[in-house]
Structure 1
């Protein structure tokens, strides 16, 4: 018989895994939308729809908070790091690099966050983190470079993806200015809304004419809505629930599922090919991420035993 506590724990873990599933699928959905729309259009529409959904959620739950004037600059900077710079890097990178390789590169964000924390807050960097970074870098090189030293993926696309990685790392620093003052749903809604405003001039100047001429098919529209509803809205809300209930450590460990979900669905939906080098590289990157979180995992297990 399942107790109420056990059922609640199972529900929370289900939310967490769903968040990772949606984020993993976002790389596949983007590939389906990019055949019709340019990256800026995709990002702008995705943020606009997500902001509207989160605003409705805030009104229903009555969690909307007024923003202090002194915090406006932090919200503007937050939205500049993510979604603006992050999505510019991720979207243009995905245009040039496969979904699986993209998700593996993006999954290295937790590895570089401690470096930013050291630079900004002088938090100590452990040997596990440094070892994890080296392992992941080796794995990425195996995935990106052929035996003759030519690139398997577009170097420009890889650079765009690392722009996304370092933008997310910068985001993790700025978010500390706001995380203890505002509800997570408020922060996500405002960062997406401000991000949409940042992208509006680019959309009007570069993409509007083309956007008006495009007549997307049902598959493209469904994929765009899936990006907006699931990857930009529900995944964040589910992740917030998970962090509140099971903590940051356990939630972050589950982020290792994202490249796995992307790889599986890229194979079945996009018919992406998997070479031995790509599989080995993925395994090494995932090992590096686990190594970097080893002490956190060990601490979590000790607490469970005690």
Structure 2
């Protein structure tokens, strides 16, 4: 069979996007050594908004939001980036990057359930099995062989808040008119996200700024996080989704915990016990199981990952 070089390029692009998002867990952990969580998110959104605006303006692709669509965009930005980044970033102050990435990878597992409840989309036995397997995997990650707690339950709950926010974001995204390009949606949700973040960051982090020690590696991590995770990865992923669809694209999120585990081991020398590694593979198995029969079921339109 003749190889479609266009498809090869598409899969290279989406793999690069997944690699960038895998690095984002590492970069966030490093950036948090200097910046309080809300300050870090706010700076990330400011820089990403500037870069995206420059790209859209110079390319002549900047679109204006029609007044009737403003409420939808504000709701969209509330769940992502606002709630998603709060859950993910605060969660990373309490759990290892590898474990956080595994939990984030359950987004395509739980999304069909919410799509069934709110959009009446088909929900299969395979979906239920995938959710069950993933829950078992998360339990193994949180608890050690002797049943003692080894990972912050609050941290895990915060990362699951990010998962829930991403799913609701995906449901809302379906209602965004098709006339808006993916890059414009990402730009405006980042800009509106700042409206949520700036006042909250000012109230929560203001007293911490005087004691903040800026490290070079944290600044570098912030810049890498912004350029690669918030801009490049989103643009590549959005482009791929338009070409091969969200169902095929979501399968690639399974690469994120694998990449993050390898990066955490290489950079932080982060080690996990055997039960946690088993949990990682069980969660990934649950994701694959939930995906195996999804072609017949409707899927929520989503462009996140975070």
Smaller-chain TM-score range? over 0.9
CA deviations over 1:25-53 (Å, ceiling 9, x no partner): 11111110111111001100011111111
Corresponding position of 1:197: 195
CA deviations over 1:254-306 (Å, ceiling 9, x no partner): 1100001110000011111121111111111111100111124799xxxxxxx
2:184 and 2:239 map into 1 onto residues whose CA distance is 14
2:39 and 2:161 map into 1 onto residues whose CA distance is 19
1:264 and 1:180 map into 2 onto residues whose CA distance is 38
Corresponding position of 1:268: 266
CA deviations over 1:76-120 (Å, ceiling 9, x no partner): 110001111111111111100111111101110111111111121
Q: 2:28 aligns with which of 19, 27, 30?
A: 30
Corresponding position of 2:118: 120
1:60 and 1:9 map into 2 onto residues whose CA distance is 28
Contact 2:38 2:205 (C-alpha < 8 Å) held by counterparts: yes
Contact 2:137 2:283 (C-alpha < 8 Å) held by counterparts: yes
Describe the shift of the 1:298–1:278 C-alpha distance in structure 2 as closer, same or farther (beyond 3 A): farther
1:209 and 1:153 map into 2 onto residues whose CA distance is 29
Corresponding position of 1:251: 249
1:14 and 1:245 map into 2 onto residues whose CA distance is 13
1:199 and 1:208 map into 2 onto residues whose CA distance is 13
Gaps of 5+ in 1: 300-306
Describe the shift of the 1:179–1:136 C-alpha distance in structure 2 as closer, same or farther (beyond 3 A): farther
2:216 and 2:222 map into 1 onto residues whose CA distance is 10
Corresponding position of 2:304: none
Corresponding position of 2:278: 280
Q: 2:209 aligns with which of 208, 211, 214?
A: 211
Match of 1:46, SS state, is helix
Aligned residues: 296
Corresponding position of 1:229: 227
The answer as to 2:68 corresponding to 1:92 is no
CA deviations over 1:164-187 (Å, ceiling 9, x no partner): 111111111111111523111111
Q: TM-score normalized by structure 2?
A: 0.92
Q: TM-score normalized by structure 1?
A: 0.92
2:112 and 2:209 map into 1 onto residues whose CA distance is 40
Corresponding position of 1:159: 157
Gaps of 5+ in 2: 298-306
Describe the shift of the 1:200–1:56 C-alpha distance in structure 2 as closer, same or farther (beyond 3 A): same
RMSD: 1.7
Describe the shift of the 1:298–1:270 C-alpha distance in structure 2 as closer, same or farther (beyond 3 A): farther
